[in-house]
Amino acid sequence: MDQQKSRTHTQSDLRIQTGDSGVSSRADRIQPITQPPPAAVAPAEEEILQSSIRAGSIAQVVVAAVAVIGLIYLLKLVMITTLTGILLAFILEPLVELLSRIRVPRGAGALIAVTLMLALWGALGYFFYNRAVDFATELPKYSGRIRDTVSKIRHQTTRIEETTRSVVHPEQDGKKKPIPVEVQDAPNLTNTVLQGGGNFAEILLAISFLPFLVYFMLTWKDHAHTATVRLFPKEHRLLAHRTVAKISLMIRSFIVGNVIVGLVISTISIAVFWYLGIPYFYFLGVISGFVSLIPYLGVFLALLPPLAGGIGTLSRSDVLIVLLTVVGLHLLTMNVLYPKIVGKRLRLNPLAVTLALLFWAWIWGAMGLILAVPIVGAAKVICDYIDPLRGLGSWLGE
C-alpha cells in the first residue's frame, strides 16, 4: 500500500512539474483540427485583396476614359481650332524658314506667310462665289431637264411605294385606307438662319482666331517648345524633348507625304479636265486633287469643283469621265498611294488608321477625318517613349 501511494504521488508530481494533464493533452490533440495555422489563411486573404485592387483599378481606368472622351467632345471647338492651327503652322513653317535665311525677321516672315494664306482663302472664296452666281444665272436653262428628271424619279418612286403597300397592307373590300396628312409650316429663311445661327457664329469665331493663332505659333515656336519641355520634372525633360521632337518630325512627314500624293493626283486631274475643256482646269484640278485626300468624304468633295466649273460645257459622257476619274483617283489614293507614301512615313498599320478615322469622325465629324491620322501618329510616338504603353505603340505600328 505504501509503495502504491508513493507511485501515485510521484506521477502527480511529474505531471505538475511538466505542466501536463489529461485535459491539456486532449486540447493539444483537438487544436490542430479546430484552428488552422495562420500560414494557411494568409494566401487566400492576399488573393482576395489583390483581386479587389485589380477590379478597382479597372473601374478607375474605365471612369477616366469616359471622362476624357466626354471632355474631348465638350471641348471639340477649341481642340479642333488648336490642332488646325498647329497643322497650318507646320505647313507655313518652311516659308518662314526660307524668309529667315534671307535675313527677314521671324515676326515679319510669319506675317507674310499668314497674309499669303489669307489671300489664298480669299481667292478660293471669290472663285467659288462667282461660280455659284453663274450656276444660279444658268439654272433656268436647265430647269426643264431638271423637272423632267425629277418627275421621272418621283413617278418611279410612287409606283414602288404603291406596290410595296399593296403587298404589305392589302386593301379590304376595295376601299383604300385614308392617307394621313400632316400640315407643316413653309420653310422660312429667317427661321433657318435663327436655328443655325448659334453654330455658325461659333464656327465663324473659331475661324477668326486661326490667323492670330497661326501667327503666334510661328513667332513663338522656340519658346513654346522650350516651355513645353520645362513643364516636366528634370529627370524626364530629356525624354520629353525627344518626344516633342519626334512628334514634330511625324507631323512634317505627314504633311510632306500628303503634298506628294496631292501633287500626283492634281497632275492627273489637270490633264483630264484640260482634255474635257473645263474652264480654269489648272485651278480646279489642284483643288480636286488635294480635297480627294480627305478619307471617305473626299470622293464627294472632289467632284464639286469640276462639275461646278463645267456647267454648260460638259456633256453626259464628259460627266461620266469626270466621275470615273475622280472616283478612280480616290480609290487609288486611299488603297495604294496613301499607305505606300504616307503610311510608311508614319509607320501606322491600316487597322489602327481606320479605327482612328471612325472614332474621331464620331467625336468631331468631318474635321475628325482630317485630324485623325496626325492624332493617332502623335499617340503612337508618345506610347513608344513610355514603358507601360509600349505594347499599345507596337499595336498601332506596322
* Secondary structure (DSSP) of 187-243: P-HHHHHHHHHHHHHHHHHHHHHHHHHHHHHHHTHHHHHHHHHHTS-GGGHHHHHHH
266-269's contacts with Cβ under 8 Å and 24+ in sequence apart are 266/290, 268/325, 268/329, 269/306, 269/325, 269/326, 269/329
Rounded to whole angstroms, the Cα distance separating 328 from 339 reads 16
Domain extents in the chain: 79-138
Burial of residue 382 (CB within 10 Å: 0-12, 13-18, 19+) is middle
Q: What is the pLDDT of residue 271?
A: 92
Fill in the DSSP letter of residue 270.
H
pLDDT in tens, 45-103: 777 777 777 777 777 778 888 888 888 888 888 888 888 888 888 888 888 889 888 88
Distances from the Cα of 33 to the Cα of 24, 44, 357, angstroms: 15, 19, 64
Looking at the whole model, is its pTM more than 0.85? no
Rounded to whole angstroms, the Cα distance separating 85 from 374 reads 13
Cell numbers at residue 357, please? 478615322
- For the chain, residues with pLDDT lower than 50 are 1-5, 10-11, 14, 16-31, 33, 40-41, 172-173, 186-187, 189-190, 192-194, 196-197
Helix, strand counts (H, E) of the chain: 17, 0
Rounded to whole angstroms, the Cα distance separating 326 from 142 reads 24
